[in-house]
Chains A and B, each alone.
Chain A
Amino acid sequence: MSGHSPIPGLFFSLLTPSATRFGPRLGNVLLKRDEQTEIQIQTPSYLASTSRGVIPHLSRDHYASSGIRWVNIPFESFLDVLPPVPTLVDGKNSLHTFLGYSLGQHVVSMAVRDPADGREMPPNGNAHVAAYSLRGVRKVTPTEWKSYVYSCKPDIVFALADIPLTHPPYSQKRLTKSIERSASWLASLISPLPNNKYRPSVLVHMAGTTSVPARRAFAESLIEKLFGPEAETIKPLQTLDQGVTGYTFDLIPIRLSLEAAEKRHQDPFYPPAESIPPTPPPTIDSAPTPLSEVNLDPTIPAHTDQLSPLLQASLEPLSTTKLRLVNSVQTPHEILRLISSVGIDIFDAHWAQRAGDVGVALDFTFPAPSSHSPALKARENNKLDIGHNLYCSSYTHDFSAFGSASCGCRACSPVAPATRIYHGVDDPSFSGESSTIPSQAPAEPRVKPSFSRAYAHHLLHTHEMSAHSLLVLHNLSVLDQFFGGIRTLLQDRPEKWDQEVKRFEEIYDEELKVFEEARVMWRDVDLARGKGRLVREKAKQEEGTLGTAVEL
């Protein structure tokens, strides 16, 4: 188990073994696809979330220019008509081919459910997970999941896991079932298929929800040597852990459960009190916000400080050398804390992509800037926003780039196309224009001026899709640089880590008020596309006629 992975192809290695089991750590994900192609992802880093197989708002020609290295595909959207369409694609890399990801740039992982979806679901069964498709709930059995995986051949697969998404809280019996099913479904996935060269790299979701003993029990079941028929299933492996590349945590079900516990801590059905980490004194004003009724994308209270003990309980018995991944993180603050207290390697980018959906251009760095950037709005708590709500009328005349720092994304540094399509009698011999790039010279891309906040503001208010393309490109780039900053600090000055995390938390607002405000304005524009829309916008503009009134 130590040293080399039993699965050829994908390797995770720690560059600086962390001093403690749960401290911040630097690592490397190496995907060796074949002799010529390999992808490396330095960790800590992120993966991009997808919807219906695509990265929301990006064109395929944007995939290459963005820094995205890992995309995760929730498979459930393909379950509306069986067999799922991606399983019908021929070839060695059918998921890459079908969805347009690059073999040389993108690690593609596949999960049955969207980890960002916390909607209540019908209960899972002994032999199925309830998944959501456009045509309703679908049951997915471990056998079906394995056949989908072997047809689609993703680089990484999330094992089917029994994550309860019925109404919390969950009885001890329910948690026991969840652990047993998750382990048994994992066994069925890692048992090798005869006569098949493909071996999936498997991540296992750490079961046990909010119960420390249950989480510990599940982790221990992974390293137990199996006997009898179970041992037969996974032969030649001896333990389940030998068949997995890493451990994953979906935070939404944990948060929902913690939230339920907080609301009904008197409830006799609730798991014994000692198994739940104590709620730390609230640092965040948790009073219900009046915005909640218009919040189409509800944030579940984060409970960040209660998460670490739970994640630690799962990892405690296990090897420190395997990949640790967290889905549905909500803030950069939370990322830093989970790196500090657990040593997580990969986080999903869903929150940052979603920010682009609602008109927020992220603008933060790690380490935090030493001098306060006046461009960012400071809140009552004297903390800075982590981004700009570009719906806000204060950006109407702001011609600066989305972020304060220089940014290489295609929104902040658009690159003039080096080539164009000719359609007939429009090439340089007819137009007399020289082609953009002299044929001999190496293509030196020409960087154009950045798109401005004012332009994005305009596009958002006119309900133009291009706004979201630009914002998602930018936000993923800011996130990429954030992780770059994390790795550099861990590499060069690890002793400064705790201090810099603290400073980041002091400088940037974690309540994400800017997101809430943006969501309200996003909804207004989204819902008001018909008559009277401009009148409503006018009423909301405090500055009266600035820029938007009719100047005829």
Chain B
Amino acid sequence: MQFEVIAKCKTTKARVSRMTLSHGVTMLPTFMPVATQAAIKGLTPEQVESLGVTLILNNTYHLNLRPGLKVLNEVGGAHKFQGWERNLLTDSGGFQLVSLSKFTTITEEGALFASPFTGEPTMLTPEESISIQHAIGADIIMQLDDVVSSLTTGPRVEEAMERSVRWLDRCTAHHEQSGKKDRQNLFAIVQGGLDPGLRDRCLDAMIQRKNDVAGYAIGGLSGGEEKDTFWRIIKQCADKLPEDRPRYSMGIGFAEDLLVCVALGVDMADCVFPTRTARFGVALTHSGPLNLKLNKHARDFDPIDKNCPCPTCSGKTSRAILHHTTTHETSAAHAITLHNITFQAQVMGRARAAIIAGTFPEYLRKFFSDYFGDAGYPEWCVNALRSVGVDLLEGKDLKLIPGSGAKWEYSDAS
């Protein structure tokens, strides 16, 4: 991997970098759409590429179950299997073991879980996770970490953090021997729950191992914790992580979360939110989400966003036809998914452009103003951005919304 920071924001910690992998260049910060089962829901890889997406995510846990390693080995990896010619990232499968299986027991050896096929006890070790990811062949692979819910408290959090460090060593050792290091890049995952002390210890241990890892992910978040805690942990990690490694915040997808993370120094993020919400008829726009199921859109012949370059909007697909077809026809999901992926890319692309131009604080203020309007800003965003020198409320008299403050279009809002 070549990783090069090409511009930094003078106010915030935001930066623009160029990340060169085996399947081309990805400009950071970027958002990665999720193709859990080796397909972005409903789309072909050609469509995804035409949207300007250069990096997507596959899930190791799912691909290991189906199509299975034998198929992936025969075909020569997940790129060829799904016809994706750009960059690919796989997670380690650890998160799904915990989120999808009730019976997972973590031992020092690995994660012991009930096979979803036979119910038999099956072990996923750090070495095996890396081997599976080698077979998938993604450009970026993740260490197996000991995942605990971000709401867990007590000694288990510390144990998980320390084990994640030990498992990182096993992952790097296994990756080192594999001979795949030139094409696949291993990222470490910083754990430590919501405890700044544990996070600090984890950061220290993992930064010591910097020469063995190509980048760092911030894990163990986006699990229902308070947003106020969330941003503080992100900031703590981003501040400490080395300049010359990409930083990946896992499971982040709301536009306001993305921009706060970018301002705190994050380079990459992934989330199923934009593609999942599309299937329920929600289109993301720079002035907030549109719930196309609502009757107020039934006779609206405007596209989702007149200025959007996506095929759905530039092809003048109206809100009315999307209202008519959404949740009934898969093509409505395709159309809104094409749009939402483009929206995420636009949010990040404009961030890159603003950082280069030295206008990132202005971009943040404009984005929040357009997106939230007079409804008020999430308090945590205001606080997080103040911590890096941007005051969203400058010259404004707006109320602050406690909690997540995420914006949604409800039926009574019409």
Contact = CB atoms under 8 A, between A and B. Distances in A.
A153 interface: no
A483 B66 CA distance: 37
Contacts of B16: 425
A464 B316 CA distance: 26
Contact of A98 (B45, B71, B318, B335): B318
B342 A552 contact: no
A465 B85 contact: no
B205 interface: no
A171 interface: no
Interface stretch (A135-143, A156-164, A203-211, A446-454): A446-454
Contact of B37 (A432, A448, A459): A459
B50 A419 contact: yes
B46 interface: yes
Most buried by B among A78, A85, A423, A451: A423
A552 B123 contact: yes
A475 to B, nearest CB: 15
Interface stretch (A52-60, A267-275, A345-353): A52-60
B64 A410 contact: no
B54 interface: yes
A431 B41 contact: no
A420 B345 CA distance: 12
A78 to B, nearest CB: 7
B44 A423 contact: no
A469 B334 contact: yes
Contact of A420 (B27, B49, B320): B49
B299 A88 contact: yes
B52 A421 contact: yes
B356 A425 contact: yes
B25 A455 contact: no
B44 A470 contact: yes
A430 B299 contact: no
Contacts of B47: 59, 61, 417
Contacts of A399: 74-75
A431 B85 contact: no
Given A399-B75, A426-B352, A430-B27, A421 B68 contact: no
B328 interface: yes
B324 interface: yes
Interface stretch (A17-25, A188-196, A376-384, A543-551): A543-551
A410 B51 CA distance: 17
Contacts of B70: 397, 546-547, 551
A60 B74 contact: no
A551 B64 contact: yes
Contacts of A116: none
Most buried by B among A56, A416, A424, A465: A424
Given A424-B349, A426-B54, A469-B42, A60 B66 contact: no
A468 interface: yes
B18 A414 contact: no
A433 B82 contact: no
A98 B329 contact: no
A164 to B, nearest CB: 28
Contacts of B364: none
Given A455-B82, A468-B330, A60 B312 contact: yes
Contacts of A433: 24-25
Contacts of A98: 301, 318, 320-321
A516 B312 CA distance: 36
B353 A552 contact: no
A143 to B, nearest CB: 23
B338 interface: yes
B67 A458 contact: yes
A441 interface: no
Interface string B33-75: 0000111111111110111101000000010111111110011
Interface in B62-96: 62, 64-71, 74-75, 80-83, 85
Contacts of A451: 83
Interface stretch (B111-119, B156-164, B182-190, B386-394): B111-119
Contacts of B27: 425-426, 430-431
B39 A459 contact: yes
Contact of B353 (A55, A424, A448): A424
Nearest to B38: A458
A434 to B, nearest CB: 11
A57 B329 CA distance: 7
A417 B349 contact: no
B375 interface: no
A100 B41 contact: no
Contact of A61 (B37, B54, B315, B316): B315
A547 B81 CA distance: 14
A449 B128 CA distance: 30
Nearest to A134: B328
Contacts of B65: 534, 548, 550
Contact of B49 (A416, A424, A426, A431): A416
Contacts of A103: none
A476 B342 CA distance: 29
Nearest to B338: A59
B149 interface: no
Interface in A175-220: none
Contact of B329 (A56, A424, A430, A538): A56
Contact of A396 (B39, B46, B67): B67
Residue in A58, A134, A470, A548 whose Cβ sees the most chain B Cβ within 10 Å: A548
B96 to A, nearest CB: 12
B317 interface: yes
Nearest to A458: B67
Nearest to A430: B27
Contacts of B132: 552
Given A85-B320, A431-B24, 14 more contacts: A59-B331, A59-B338, A397-B74, A399-B75, A417-B47, A423-B345, A424-B349, A426-B52, A468-B330, A535-B118, A537-B117, A549-B117, A551-B64, A551-B70
Query: Considering the complex of A and B, which 3 residue pairs feature the smallest CB-CB distances, nearest first?
Result: A423-B349, A424-B349, A424-B353
